[in-house]
Amino acid sequence: MADAHVHDTGKLSLTVKIMIAMGLGIVVGVLFDVIDSEFIDTNIVAGFFGMIGTMFVNALKMLVVPLVFFSLITGVTGIGDIRVLGRVGGKSFALYMFTTACAIGMAIVLALLIGPGAGFDMEGINTSGVTGAEAPSVWATFAAIVPTNPIQAFASGEMLQVIFYTVILGVAVLMMGDTAKPFTEACGFMNELVMKVVGIVMVFAPYGVFALIAKTFAEQGIGLFIPVMAYVVTLVLALFLHLFGTLSLLLKLLSGLNPITFMQKMRPAQIFAFSTASSNATIPVTYRSVTERIGVDKGVASFCVPFGATINMDGTAIMQGVATVFLANVYGIDLGLTGYITVIGMAILASIGTAGVPGVGLVMLTMVLTQVGLPIEGVAIILGVDRLMDMIRTAVNITGDAVVTTIIAKSEGKVDVGVFDDPEAGVIAEDVTDIPAHAQPAE
C-alpha cells in the first residue's frame, strides 16, 4: 500500500517537467545575463550550473557505450539472419546519406535565395585564433572504421569502431548457434539492466536540463545575435524546413505513419538533444523513444540509432550549407555550381567520420571552407551564436536518426503500430526507483 500513490494522475509527466525546466532555464539565463554580476557569473553560472550540467551530460555519456554494445549484440542475435542484418545496414546507410544530401542541398538553395551576409560589416569582429582542420580522404575515413584496439575504441567512445566491432562479434555469435546461448542471454540481461540505469538517470533530467539551458543563455545572451541575425534566421528556417518538411514527408511516404504523432512522441529526445547539444549523449533517450514510444523493434533500433548518431548529421550539414553561403557573401566570393557541389560532397564525407559531440560542427566547417577556398577566419563571425545553433541542429540530427530507424523498421515489418498509435505507450514512469515487493527486505 505504501507506493500506491506513486503513479497518481495528478503528477506531471517527465516530459512536462523537462519542458518546464527548459523554460525556467531560458528565463533565469537571460535574467542573469542582464544582471551581469561577476559573483553570479563565476559562482552560480560557471560554478554551480556548470557542475550540475556537466554531471548530467557525463551521466548520459556514461550509458552510451554499454547501451550500444549490449543492445547491438541483442539486436544482431535477435535479427537472427546475417542477410537480413546486411539488408538493414545497407538500407540505413543509404537513407542516412540521402537525408544528409537533401539537408545540405536544401540549405544552400534557401541561403542563396535569402542571401545572408551581403553587405556585412566586419568592424569589431576578431578573426584571429581560428585554426582549420584538414579534411580526411574518403579512403582514410572508411579505413578508420576498423579499430586496431577494440578496448581503446570502447574507452575513447569511437562509436563507428564500437559499432563495427560489436556487429562482427554479433555475427560470430550467430555463427556459433546454440553454443553461444548463455552469452546471448547474459547480454539480454545486461541490456535490460542498462535500460534500468537509463531510467534512474532520467529522474534527474529536469535539473540537468535547467542547469544546461540557464548556463548557455546566461553566457551567450541575446546581444550576440544582432550582427549575424540574417545568418541565424536563415539557419533556423532551414532547420525547421528540414525537420517539419523533408523528414516528415519522407516518413509519410516511406512508412505511411503519421508525422505529427511521430514528432509528439520524439519530443523528450529532442529536448535532451537541444539541452546537451550532443547526438551521442542523447542515444539512450533516442533509443528509448523509438522502441517504447514509437514501437520500433529493439533489434532494428539497437543497430540504426547508434549508427545514425555517428554518421547522420542533417542539422550540422544544414549549418555548413548556410554558413558557407553566408561567408561567401561576406567576403564577396562567388563559389559557383562546382563550389557548392564540393560543399555537399564534403559535408556528407565529414558526417561519416566525425563524432556526435558539442561544437564538432565548427571543426567540420573549417574543412569545408578550406576545400572551397574561403577564409577560415570567417568562422569567428558565427562563433558567438554557434552554441545555441548547435543545440537546435542536434535536435534535428537525432530526429533524422529516429525517422530513418522507423522507416527501416517499417520496411522490415518491425514496427508495432499499436504502440505507435497509443499516446500513453512508453511514457516514462514517475518513479523508476520502485523496488518490486519480492525484492524488499521482510519487516
CB 282 within 8 A of CB 390: no
Cell output for 114: 535569402
- The number of helix segments (H) and strand segments (E) in the chain equals 21, 0
- Going by C-alpha positions, the residue among 405, 408, 299, 291 that lies closest to residue 77 is 299
Q: Indicate whether 173 pLDDT > 50.
A: yes
Give whichever of 79-83, 114-118, 136-140, 184-188 has the largest mean pLDDT.
184-188
Position 434 pLDDT exceeds 80: no
Per the model's pLDDT, the better-predicted residue between 127 and 237 turns out to be: 237
Q: For residue 333, what pLDDT is reported?
A: 86
Could you tell me the pLDDT band of residue 428, with boundaries at 50, 70 and 90? low
Q: Among candidates 203, 198, 187, which has minimal Cα distance to 281? A: 198
Lowest pLDDT segment from 51-60, 219-228, 230-239, 271-280? 219-228
Q: Which domains does the chain have, with CATH numbers?
A: 14-423 (1.10.3860.10)
3-class DSSP state for residue 415?
Answer: strand
CA distance 58 to 276: 10
Specify whether the CB–CB gap between 275 and 391 falls below 8 A.
yes
Mean pLDDT of the residues in the chain: 83
Banded pLDDT at 124 (limits 50, 70, 90): low
pLDDT at 48: 93
Over residues 88-112, the pLDDT tens digits come to 889 999 999 999 999 999 999 999 9
Q: What's the pLDDT score for residue 136?
A: 62
Q: What is the pLDDT of residues 44-55, one digit of tens each?
A: 988 999 999 889
- Cβ–Cβ < 8 Å for 15, 429: no
